[in-house]
């Protein structure tokens, strides 16, 4: 096979209590990429539609992640990449992760799958390092594994795939304001109190258990963030009202998606997820901020081949 076209899912990272360690892949929003083998070595990005992003290999996360793979591959040729962006860069739903994972997944596929998913996560993390200055794995892991993932450890990298409750839906609203990932990292404190630590790891454990047991109430109770959200939510207008109104509309919980400005909720069933979407829309219409909104099932497969 010389060429492959893939769907690269958007992802929600952090998921309230799991800063830098939890993430989940979405089904109804993502980019598309075409990757093809070339005789010449190296990587060239030949097309980029939908967003104004650099085509230079070393300035685009797809190029940087791809080069990390190429360095370790026993392959003397190279690749050409076309990127069709549907996820806006800086949205907080894993725009950079979609491109870096799509590139390495497709290349691995064209080479006959010499690398494991965990190795692909490592290559894709180099793309995240370019995008945000930090090689975090909480978006790239769910994009590659599908469903929910836990980064149990970064050194050594240990990714734990987590079961997806079948009736779980995500509603994500992206207010059209700019919050730079680097800025939303800068405002975070580097120390936490023991009291908040105890609350936070209780919730991480509760959330993971709730997902495995399909216990929607436990999932809802565990969607709490005592460390990051109180600081970051200040950057997102209307966050507190959205949280209050979506919970009233039946959402299990509500938090900041990635480093924002997108806000996510989880609901049991599509009907509630749609009701939650209406509550979110109303708030941003009242405030006068434009938005994109997505209601999505959880993507259990991760990146997939499309025609």
Residue 181 is among the residues annotated as catalytic for this protein: yes
Touching ligand ADP, residues 272-301 (CB under 6 A): none
The single residue of 11, 149, 171, 181 carrying the catalytic annotation is 181
Report how far residue 131's alpha carbon sits from residue 97's, in angstroms, rounded to the nearest whole number.
9
The single residue of 32, 126, 128, 245 carrying the catalytic annotation is 128
Q: Which of 122, 132, 164, 265 binds ligand ADP (CB under 6 A)?
A: 132
Q: Does 99 bind ligand ADP (CB under 6 A)?
A: yes
Q: Does 261 bind ligand ADP (CB under 6 A)?
A: no
Q: Which of 17, 33, 67, 93 binds ligand ADP (CB under 6 A)?
A: 93
> Which of the stretches 89-97, 116-124, 220-228, 266-274 binds ligand ADP when contact is defined by CB under 6 A?
89-97
- Alpha-helix runs per DSSP H in 73-188: 95-110, 117-132, 140-145, 181-186
Residue 265 is among the residues annotated as catalytic for this protein: no
**Which two structure tokens, joined as six digits, stand for 253?**
């919980």
Nearer to ligand ADP, 62 or 170 (CB): 62
Q: Which of 35, 83, 124, 228 binds ligand ADP (CB under 6 A)?
A: 83
Report how far residue 256's alpha carbon sits from residue 252's, in angstroms, rounded to the nearest whole number.
14
Per DSSP, what are the bridge partners of residue 24? Answer: 12, 148
Q: Does 101 bind ligand ADP (CB under 6 A)?
A: no
Alpha-carbon dihedral sign for residues 144, 147, 153, 156? negative
**Which residues are within 8 A (CB) of 214 and not within 5 positions of it... i.e. 6 or more apart?**
163, 165, 166, 167
Phi (first) and psi of residue 187, to 5 degrees: -80, -10
Report how far residue 97's alpha carbon sits from residue 125's, in angstroms, rounded to the nearest whole number.
8
Q: Which of 12, 62, 207, 227 binds ligand ADP (CB under 6 A)?
A: 62
Q: Does 95 bind ligand ADP (CB under 6 A)?
A: yes
Neighbours of 307 (CB within 10 A): 3
Reported as type and span, the H/E element at residue 44 is strand 42-49
Q: Does 96 bind ligand ADP (CB under 6 A)?
A: yes
How many residues line the site for ligand ADP (CB under 6 A)?
20
Residues in the site for ligand ADP, rule: CB under 6 A? 53, 60-62, 83, 89-97, 99, 131-132, 181, 258-259
């Amino acid at each position: 096979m010389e060429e492959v076209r893939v769907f690269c899912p958007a992802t929600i990272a952090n998921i309230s209590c799991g800063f830098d360690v939890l993430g989940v892949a979405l089904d109804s929003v993502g980019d598309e990429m075409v990757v093809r083998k070339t005789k010449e070595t190296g990587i060239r990005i030949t097309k980029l539609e939908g967003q104004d992003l650099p085509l230079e290999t070393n300035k685009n996360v797809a190029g940087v992640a791809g080069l990390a793979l190429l360095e370790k591959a026993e392959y003397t040729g190279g690749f050409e990449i076309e990127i069709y962006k549907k996820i806006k860069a800086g949205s907080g739903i894993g725009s950079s992760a979609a491109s870096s994972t799509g590139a390495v997944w497709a290349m691995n596929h064209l080479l006959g799958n010499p690398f494991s998913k965990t190795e692909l996560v490592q290559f894709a993390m180099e793309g995240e390092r370019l995008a945000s200055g930090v090689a975090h794995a909480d978006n790239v892991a769910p994009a590659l594994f599908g469903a929910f993932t836990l980064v149990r450890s970064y050194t050594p990298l240990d990714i734990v795939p987590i079961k997806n409750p079948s009736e779980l839906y995500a509603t994500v609203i992206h207010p059209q304001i700019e919050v730079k990932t680097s800025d939303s990292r800068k405002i975070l404190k580097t120390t936490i109190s023991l009291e908040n630590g105890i609350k936070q790891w209780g919730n991480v454990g509760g959330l993971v258990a709730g997902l495995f047991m399909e216990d929607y109430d436990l999932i809802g109770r565990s969607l709490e963030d005592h460390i990051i959200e109180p600081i970051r939510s200040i950057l997102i207008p209307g966050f507190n009202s959205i949280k209050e109104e979506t919970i009233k509309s039946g959402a299990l919980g509500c938090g900041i998606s990635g480093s924002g400005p997108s806000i996510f909720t989880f609901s049991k069933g599509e009907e509630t997820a749609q009701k939650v979407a209406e509550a979110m829309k109303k708030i941003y219409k009242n405030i006068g901020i434009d938005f994109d909104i997505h209601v999505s099932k959880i993507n259990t497969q991760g990146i997939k081949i499309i025609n």
